[in-house]
Amino acid sequence: MNDLKKHITKDGSLSLYSSIYDEGFHDKGGALKESINKYLLPAQLDKIPKTEKIFILDVCMGLGYNTGCILEKLLQGNQRIEWHGLEIDQRPLNIGLNEKQFQKLWSPKILNFFNCIKKSERWTEGFNKGTIHWGDARQKIYEIQDSLKFDLILLDPFSPQKCPELWSEQFISLLCERLSLDGRLITYSSAASVRASLKRNGLNIYSISPSQDYQNQWSLGTVALKTKLKKQLISTNCQLTNLSTKELEHLATRSSIPYRDPTGRGDSKEIILAREIEQSKSQLIKTSSWRKKWNTAQQP
């Protein structure tokens, strides 16, 4: 059964729809545009402290748009890179590389990166190197040496309601441990459960403000750091803002109760059921009351 369906998004870039997760890989407005707005711009690559090498972890690489956009920018500036990817399914990248619509989006260097990852699980170019770790991210993260700290962590699984195992408090804790002092974890998710887990791990969180193309959304995602951002780095131009009153109140609702996966091998249905039971017993404000107050629709 072919559970992955190809389609072209509004910006002309290729995306996929998973019938197993009943969810698309990207916004219908554009796969490439989404990666630029939700990952590349919030990364603020020009503001990252200059070091000998930048370390990047892509969690759920999928078709590779997030990594592709960021590597395009870094390679233009001759930045040394060490990249690691965690991905359970090899098919999305294979599908992309067989489509001209996907190939024409990228420079020869990025296409070479994708092809190296596909063929040998390794990429080297001068002083740059990369490794893809195929399999369940919850186990495969341990293949990466403990001492390695990442300047950018790109967290992009299917939504928490569909793939809770990669949004659990335990997995988020593992990612937070791997974040460098000045690094940033970036995700499209604005879910209270995810943000609350990041905060409990001691990170400072910021909202990715919607651009004009996303005015129907109250947030494009979350950026989390171990240190606080300087005021000059929080600007509409760079899309990052402090959490609004609405978003802070969201963290006080039952939606903030985390997904839990203490064994690191939990089944998604089990994880969701356990959280629903915990929510039903919680004394926190019902999320429906928060939605009614702010007249807001549900977001992933």
pLDDT in tens, 104-157: 999 999 999 999 999 999 999 999 999 999 999 999 999 999 999 999 999 999
- Alpha-carbon distance 2 to 126, whole Å? 38
Chain-centroid distance of CA 221 in Å reads: 9
pLDDT of residue 233: 63
- Alpha-carbon distance 171 to 280, whole Å? 23
* pLDDT surpasses 90 at 238: no
pLDDT band at 68 (very low <50, low <70, confident <90, very high): very high
- Alpha-carbon distance 149 to 181, whole Å? 8
- Residues 71-91 as b/e (b if ≥16 CB within 10 A, e otherwise) read bbebbeeebebbbbbbbbbee
Q: Which amino acid is at 67?
A: T
pLDDT of residue 297: 64
Among 65-79, 212-226, 246-260, whose mean pLDDT is lowest?
A: 212-226
pLDDT of residue 300: 43
Query: What average pLDDT is seen over the chain?
Result: 93
Per domain, the residue ranges of the chain are 31-294
- Alpha-carbon distance 15 to 26, whole Å? 6
- Alpha-carbon distance 151 to 177, whole Å? 12
pLDDT of residue 18: 97
Q: Which amino acid is at 219?
A: S
| DSSP 8-state secondary structure symbol assigned to residue 285 | B
129 and 122 Cβ atoms separated by less than 8 Å: yes
% the chain with pLDDT above 90: 85
Model confidence pLDDT, tens digit, residues 239-268 = 899 999 999 999 999 999 999 999 999 999
* pLDDT surpasses 90 at 189: yes
* pLDDT surpasses 60 at 283: yes
pLDDT of residue 235: 59
* pLDDT surpasses 80 at 58: yes
- Alpha-carbon distance 192 to 161, whole Å? 12
% the chain with pLDDT above 70: 94
Strands (E), the chain: 4-8, 14-18, 23-24, 54-59, 81-87, 122-125, 128-134, 150-155, 179-187, 204-208, 221-225, 240-241
In CATH terms, the fold of domain 31-294 is: Rossmann fold (3.40.50)
pLDDT band at 49 (very low <50, low <70, confident <90, very high): confident
pLDDT of residue 79: 86
Mean pLDDT throughout 171-195? 97
pLDDT of residue 78: 81
